[in-house]
Amino acid sequence: MNGIAKKILSVVLFLVCIGLVYLIYQGIMEPVNFNKEKARREAVAIQRLKDIRDLQVAYKSVTGRFVSTVDSLCDFYKKGEMKVVMQVGSKDDSLAMAHTEAVKKANRKITPADLYKMYLAGDKNLVFAVESKIAVKDTLFHNRTDFVVDSLKYIPFSGQQPVEMEATVRKVSGVDVPLFEARMPYRAFLDDVNKQLRINLDAERETQGHFKGLQVGSVTAPNNNAGNWE
């Protein structure tokens, strides 16, 4: 083998080694990059599921049940009202409590609304709770600059695939219990990252008996509306 052939062979072997090192590096980094992107996307999806849960709980406080569609939750947020109880004064203030009782005895038909009017008129030595209604959108998420209610309908990073949601009422120890669950499958928001690693993740979750994605609540058994990431 002459000198030129040796040089060519050396270059080829060097390039082969570089290629092998690159393939090994890629094999190591693929799952690392997948898990990093998975964590980033899950954080967005989890916040969306938490927002859905907060709206479901608010909806139930008004109607006594959960709702099965995110569209209905969005409509509730935009147009609905919630009852709020405002506590005025402290029950630990004995002088204020005595004064309030005296006012009530003087007028046995007096209502909390009447007491509130007296309070606004200048009698600050009153203790009472008054109930009022407030728009849902003025109560929930109003300090969140990143909150867009219409985005709750879609699984993030999925090309606007809809959130999967159900609601039902089940008998638990003879009592009707409203239940709901909202789901975001991994196949919806991770498939474009690395399909094979996503399939492997689904298989692992299935083996463990877990939902293949993120889920909040459960329509099969009460779980205090917990998320499967908690």
pLDDT 10s digits, 119-133: 888 888 888 887 878
Q: Is the pLDDT of residue 227 over 60?
A: yes
Q: How far apart are the first and last CA of the chain?
A: 67
Q: Is the pLDDT of residue 151 over 60?
A: yes
Q: Is the pLDDT of residue 24 over 70?
A: no
Of 95 and 41, the one with more pLDDT: 41
What share of the chain has pLDDT > 90, as a percent? 58
Return mean pLDDT, the chain.
Answer: 89
pLDDT, tens digit, for every residue of 155-192?
999 999 999 999 999 998 899 999 999 999 999 999 99
pLDDT value, residue 3? 66
Q: What amino acid is encoded at 185 in this protein?
A: P
In whole angstroms, give the CA distance from residue 11 to residue 40.
42
| CA 116 and chain centroid, separation | 36
Q: Is the pLDDT of residue 202 over 70?
A: yes
pLDDT, tens digit, for every residue of 44-83?
999 999 999 999 999 999 999 999 999 999 999 999 998 8
Residue 32's contacts (CB-CB under 8 Å, 6 or more residues apart) are none
Q: Is the pLDDT of residue 38 over 80?
A: yes
Of 53 and 12, the one with more pLDDT: 53
In whole angstroms, give the CA distance from residue 58 to residue 77.
9
Q: Is the pLDDT of residue 209 over 70?
A: yes
Residue closest to 139 by CA, chosen among 84, 73, 69, 70: 84
Strands 175-185 and 213-217: antiparallel
Q: Is the pLDDT of residue 25 over 60?
A: no
Residues facing residue 135 across a β-bridge: 81
pLDDT value, residue 7? 64
pLDDT value, residue 15? 67
Q: Is the pLDDT of residue 5 over 60?
A: yes
Q: Is the pLDDT of residue 204 over 90?
A: yes
Residue closest to 54 by CA, chosen among 31, 82, 34: 82
In whole angstroms, give the CA distance from residue 189 to residue 161.
9
In whole angstroms, give the CA distance from residue 110 to residue 117.
11
